[in-house]
Amino acid sequence: MCDVDEAAASATAALVDEATGGPVVGSEPFTLSTIACAVRPANPLFTADMTALRYLHEASLVKNLHDRWIADERQPYTSMSNVLIAVNPLRYLTAVDKSMYVRQSLDMSPPHPFHVAENAYRQLRSVRQNQSIVISGESGSGKTETSKIILDFLTDRSGLGSMSSGADNAHEHALGDRLMKTIPILESFGNAKTHRNHNSSRFGKYMRLQFSPDVDLSSTALHLTGASIDTYLLETSRVVHPPTGERNFHVLYELLRSGDAKLLNDLKLIPNPYMPKDPRLSNCDAWLDMYHYLNRSGCTHSEFLNDRANFQKLKDALVFAGIDAVQLLQIVAGVLHLGNVTFYEEDTAEGLTAAIHREGDAPDASIDVVADLLGIKADDLIDALLKKKIERTKGSFQRRGSVYFVGKTKQQAAYSRDTVAKMIYNQVFSALMVQCADILEYNAALQDELAYIGVLDIFGFEDFHPKNQNSFEQLLINYANEALQSMFNLCILKAEQELYQAENIWAPQNASLLFPFAPRPVDGLDGVFNIAHAYAHIIYSL
């Protein structure tokens, strides 16, 4: 058997006559078009650790992953030495016994996220050095679910040992429960439906699980004592303009589909389908289309998400975390209403400047409603949207320090509205992370003394179809993934690379991909990010 490389894009298994190089008569699949393609040896059977494959090339690796994935008992996890490769199973799998990875040698354990987590725990216990687990991959590959599996194992790990006391186990179980309870909050405010994934994380998160040694110095046991969550690069542009065919953040749809008529009425989200029928509302989707920040992408529904049920999970999680749900949802509703604030131009002494409609059409987009929900004065909000503050720092002594307010154009006012919406949502998300961290008991005072296991769930990299351009945030996401890959190449493959250099073997690198973006102090040139930052400042000052 062999794998036939087809234009480096796919491979087909086939029988080849060693003498002639042509197909064996009657063998399938094989076509004349494939005879001229590169032919490489195939491995007889698939294996759990691909370093054990006799023939290592791209086609054999892909075939091994595919064969394991389509097996009767689907096996989505495969090892490559210390690296776990996970192929999204796209279905629920039979639960795996956690204690199996604790009792026996890891060399005898099948590949699984539990294997990676147990390996990190054993390393932490033996060398007392911080450990990190990096989960990366394309959007929709299952990174977030994999991180949940790892967290579930690590929060239970001490209790799986035989030397833990009942009190320690109870505390660790409660702490693990609190950590898992924060996940609905993270997903509602930080996840969205994309082309590739119905529950895509639109931010990166690094979770630390802090462990302390046993009070019995003769024991090697570790006890989970605290946890923390750090978040990075929330895709705030999605708040005001989700990409075509994708949704905004889940929480906006969960609120509107909650079915809680009283709550929606209190938040001025009226009319709505839960009130006496309005002729403009044929269904819930039609109602959602009345909100500017939701109707721009042409997608408000996901068949794989139950927004009403997820809203209840969110409310339960907020209560558990001690977060005021009413106050929080007032701000969320305020952002929705802010998107429906519209402007018109009026002729003034300064020329054509923007003015604001004090009363919207439907739903109620009154700036007064927005201000009331956000807890600020309407006049202050109007000034922020319609006027640009200019401070003189040069000129004569009399004029230096003077402050002027200049009216904005209609386009500038709309830009300011969207900027305020993004800023508010980002601040809400950051505040939620702080409040979630408060219940996780992370001991910052002893962070240099207590070791931790970090779990990095990085945002998925994507390469959209040419008709859909990547956003600036997606550029940053892809750059972060390339930087992680560069670090992986350096740390994991360093010894091999030194051997390659000694034997004059070429090894691929991705440094050239990172080179144009980051600043380069060696030659004094700015990277793409610095140039974009400077250009944005120039545009904003105009």
**Positions at the binding site for ATP:** 137-144
Cis peptide before 110 (omega within 30 of 0): no
Q: Cα 351 vs. chain centroid, distance in angstroms? A: 45
Give me 288's structure tokens. Answer: 């959602």
Instruction: Classify residue 216 by its DSSP letter.
Output: S
DSSP state at residue 370? H
**Residue 86 corresponds to which tokens in the numbers above?**
């996970």
**Could you tell me if 429 and 190 are in contact, meaning their C-beta atoms sit under 8 angstroms apart?**
yes
Task: Report the distance separating Cα 284 and Cα 237, nearest Å.
Answer: 25
Q: Is 338 exposed, middle or buried (0-12, 13-18, 19+ CB in 10 A)?
A: buried
Residue with the two structure tokens 């996220």: 113
Six-digit token pair at 127? 């060398």
Q: For the beta carbon of residue 127, count every other beta carbon within 10 angstroms.
A: 10
Q: Rounded distance, CA 112 to CA 158, Å?
A: 19
Q: Token pair for residue 204?
A: 């990166």
Instruction: Extract the annotated binding site.
Output: 137-144
Question: Exposed e or buried b for every residue in 63-82, given b needs 16+ CB within 10 A?
Answer: bbbebbbeeeeebbbbbeee
Query: Which amino acid makes up residue 359?
Result: E
**Peptide bond just before 76 cis, omega within 30 deg:** no
How many angstroms separate the Cα of 353 from the Cα of each of 31, 110, 348, 385?
A: 69, 67, 7, 12
Rounded to the nearest angstrom, the gap between the alpha carbon of residue 206 and the centroid of all alpha carbons in its chain is 11
DSSP run (H or E) holding 356? strand 351-356
Cβ contacts of residue 468 below 8 Å, gap of 6+?
A: 195, 243, 244, 245
Separation CA 285–CA 289 (nearest Å): 6
Within 10 A of 436 (CB to CB), how many other CB atoms are there? 25
Residues whose CB falls within 8 Å of the CB of residue 197, separated by 6 or more in sequence, listed in order:
139, 140, 460
339 three-state secondary structure: helix
Cis ω on the peptide bond leading into residue 271 (within 30° of 0)?
A: yes
Rounded Cα–Cα distance for residues 327 and 27 (Å): 68
Residue among 340, 315, 186 at smallest CA distance from 255: 315
State how far Cα 384 lies from the chain centre. Answer: 31
